[in-house]
Amino acid sequence: MRSDDIIFAPASGQGGAISIIRVSGEGCLEMLDSIVRLRHGTIAQTPGFSLRFGEIPGLDEVLVSVFRAPRSYTGEDMAELSCHASQFILGELMSRLSKAGGRVADAGEFTQRAFLNGKMDLAQAEAVADIISSDSSAQHRVAFNQLRGGYSAELSEIRARLLELTSLLELELDFAEEDVQFADRSRLRELLDSSIEHCTHLADSFRIGNAVRNGVPVAIVGAPNSGKSTLLNALLKDDRAIVSNIPGTTRDTVEECCVLDGILFRFIDTAGIRAASDEIEKLGIARTRRKAAEAQIILGLIDASKVLSASDFEASVRDLAALYDSEWQKLIILVNKVDLEPLNKNVSTLNNFVLPNDIKALGAALLFISAKKGLGLDKLLEQLVSSSGVASQSGTFVTNARHAAALREVASALSKVRSGMDLGLSSDLLSEDLRSALRTLGSITGEITSDEVLGEIFGKFCIGK
């Protein structure tokens, strides 16, 4: 990590009338004086949080925003140059900055410097990338809470408990020869239990957090020609999937995202499930089962025109219910193509369709729709939002797989301490597991993190951030 260089990079995207180039590092303001001419004074003499008008001779007029260390994004002296959004001007300005002694910043290097200079912890730094990539209000809300320190505050609370535990046990180590116990064992157990519970709760929130960050996965499954592709197109309001009355048309999965009520959903249209002899179709059906096993919500379609009795309906429901795990998935049974049924059949047959009690008890829902005509889709959208688990949840979510794994590791180490205490192990053995838990917790916030991990994290950022 080269933290003593002057770095620069474009900080604005394509399009618009203005481009912004961000510059940071000790001596960057003096360097800019060699490029930008002000009408009065110099950039190096300009106080922080000031805006100056200047000219780059022969190139453009610019506005220079000045930020002084440590009250800047990176914690270093910084400036932002606002110029006209011409690719020629931008390229020439970056060339002049390079010749003056600066270098183009690596991906995420501005935020990395902010982390290294104590402007934010690692969890907050990672939230910056999540905010930039957020495509829904739910994604933005979770990332913004993490950036503002809501998640870090919970980690600090856990860390404070672990430090108290460590200090109590290590005090005994200083008097080990006297065989004296200073620590209140009931207090130690209380601290351990609350910390294990807190870590486990945060780690478990990753299921929701991951869905918020990457989209709630929704698998659309059913027999061939039950209307799966038509439903996908209706939900997306676009002809994304090929619709045909030929069975087995869909051989592979089709995935598309859509924002509903501020929540990103990832819809997966799958191959129809049946006894297939075609090897390619068999592969498609195997993939259907795999996608259903990974989805958070399963939309199980039943073709109303092919269900002649309540027993037919129950058999179809049980086939679909066999695809889902009621412990963490939601199943919504959709009786599709109700627009094709004559009124007398609606009364005599469709109205008799009810979910079997054992499947209803698992939390499955039943809706009647026409994907082609749009009937019942408003109720389906409501059911999707409520089944996502996102709208009803508040507080802190873990959205990062690395964090979730670390929290589970912390909980595991603390469980060993708890078991060791019950077995009467010595304080020095208990302290070792506690120190391990503290190190792992520190890897989330960046208190204990290798250069390799930092490179992996910040390498995923965009240039200029």
Band the pLDDT of 86: cuts 50, 70, 90.
Answer: very high
Fold annotation for 221-387: Rossmann fold (3.40.50)
> Is 445 in contact with 223 (CB distance < 8 Å)?
no
> Is 335 in contact with 368 (CB distance < 8 Å)?
yes
Q: What is the CA radius of gyration of the chain?
A: 29
- Amino acid identity of residue 77, one-letter, is D
Angle at CA 7, nearest 5°, toward 122 and 127?
25
CATH number of 132-205+398-446: 1.20.120.430
Helix axes 401-422, 150-173, angle to 10 degrees: 30
Strand order in the sheet with 7-10: 37-38, 50-56, 60-67, 78-84, 18-24, 7-10, 103-104
Q: Tell me what pLDDT residue 456 has.
A: 64
Positive or negative, the CA dihedral 311, 316, 319, 325 is: negative
Helix axes 401-422, 206-214, angle to 10 degrees: 180
Q: Tell me what pLDDT residue 277 has.
A: 57
Q: Tell me what pLDDT residue 394 has.
A: 61
Q: Average pLDDT, stretch 162-169?
A: 80
Band the pLDDT of 146: cuts 50, 70, 90.
Answer: confident
- Kindly give, in sequence order, each residue whose CB lies less than 8 Å from that of residue 36, ignoring residues fewer than 6 positions away: 43, 54, 55, 56, 62, 64, 81
Sequence ranges of the chain with CATH classification 1.20.120.430: 132-205+398-446
Q: Tell me what pLDDT residue 420 has.
A: 86
In the DSSP assignment, the letter for residue 339 is: G
Q: Tell me what pLDDT residue 400 has.
A: 87
Q: Which of 176-185, 262-271, 283-292, 443-452 holds the top average pLDDT?
A: 262-271
Return the minimum-mean-pLDDT range out of 45-54, 273-282, 286-295: 273-282
Q: Average pLDDT, stretch 301-320?
A: 86
Please name which of 370, 213, 203 lies closest in space to residue 302, comparing C-alpha atoms. Answer: 370
Q: Tell me what pLDDT residue 278 has.
A: 58
Fold annotation for 7-121: Gyrase A; domain 2 (3.30.1360)
> Is 267 in contact with 256 (CB distance < 8 Å)?
yes
Q: Tell me what pLDDT residue 243 has.
A: 46
Sequence ranges of the chain with CATH classification 3.40.50.300: 221-387
> Is 420 in contact with 430 (CB distance < 8 Å)?
yes
- Kindly give, in sequence order, each residue whose CB lies less than 8 Å from that of residue 119, ignoring residues fewer than 6 positions away: 70, 73, 74, 75
> Is 226 in contact with 302 (CB distance < 8 Å)?
yes
First and final CA of the chain: distance in angstroms?
16
Q: Tell me what pLDDT residue 379 has.
A: 94
Q: Determine the Cα–Cα distance for residues 29 and 46; give it in Å rounded to an integer.
A: 9
Share of the chain above pLDDT 90, in %: 36
Q: Tell me what pLDDT residue 241 has.
A: 47
